[in-house]
Amino acid sequence: MRRVPHSTPAQFRTKILGGVDYNESFALSLNLYYVGKEDNDRIYFNQYSETHHRFEFGYGKTLLVPESQLRFNSKKFESTELLICHGDLITRLTFQREENQGEVEDATGCIININRVDLQFSQGRSLFNQRSEYKIVHLLHLKISSDRVVIESIDGFDDTSIKKPNRSFDRVQAKLKFQNPESEAQFLNHLRQEDNSEGKCVILGRIYEKKFAESFGE
């Protein structure tokens, strides 16, 4: 299978978006999701000279940006900490010329600025915020799958609506953290011994904040 090459910031601006103007906030008609940061090529394992950040805008279509060419709220990206996470949707971008680029239109480099107001948080990010900011303990809907206890969905509050306070988050790649394999086996046996033909139950759970932050939500 042939690997689809990633786009550079300049290629994304000119070839994918059709050459949008510099220094103007541009509304994206495609879905651009933040994937995460990487220090080497995930296919060929070549080491980058600096940290890169990968975005996805379709099946196999990615934008790879060196950290020095990224800004968040017009500040250096390395200082953003957890302001953007895996799965967050970016709705608008602003392209800026690099300081040494001048007026050369076909220059290879440009800077991409992302503003906080132009982000739509992923489900995982929303749950993390609820835990880190409001110390919410969520309801976890569990089920047995292939002799493992897995999370089917998580109940939280809907921060996008005032009419519907509760929301089911069912697109979160969350896993239960047991102290050891024996603990999981005991819990699995407990579920099977209950009068529960579907092998499902609901428990209270807390998001592992440190792990989420360290992995940028991956």
Query: Tens of pLDDT along 165-194?
Result: 888 999 888 889 888 888 888 888 888 776
Collapsing DSSP states into helix, strand and coil, what is residue 120? strand
What's residue 3's pLDDT?
Answer: 62
d(CA 3, CA 21): 30
- Expressed as residue numbers, the domain containing 29 is 9-120
Share of the chain above pLDDT 70, in %: 89
Together in a domain, 50 and 132: no
Whether residue 93 is found in the same domain as residue 135: no
Tell whether 167 is covered by a domain. yes
Q: Say what the pTM is.
A: 0.79
Q: Do residue 199 and residue 134 come from a single domain?
A: yes
Q: Verify that 81 and 159 share a domain, yes or no.
A: no
Helices first, then strands: H and E counts in the chain: 4, 12
Structure-token pair, residue 107: 């220059």
Q: What is the DSSP letter of 23?
A: T
* Nearest alpha carbon to residue 85 among 63, 53, 59: 53
Specify whether 25 is located in the same domain as 105: yes
Percent with pLDDT over 90 in the chain: 50
Q: Average the pLDDT over 101-116 and give the result.
A: 72
Q: What is the mean pLDDT of the chain?
A: 86
Render pLDDT for 59-79 as a digit per residue (tens, 0 to 9): 889 999 999 999 999 998 876
Q: Where are the beta strands (DSSP E) in the chain?
A: 26-40, 47-58, 61-66, 70-72, 75-76, 89-96, 111-114, 119-120, 138-145, 148-157, 166-169, 200-205
- The identity of residue 86, as a single letter, is H
Domain count across the chain: 2
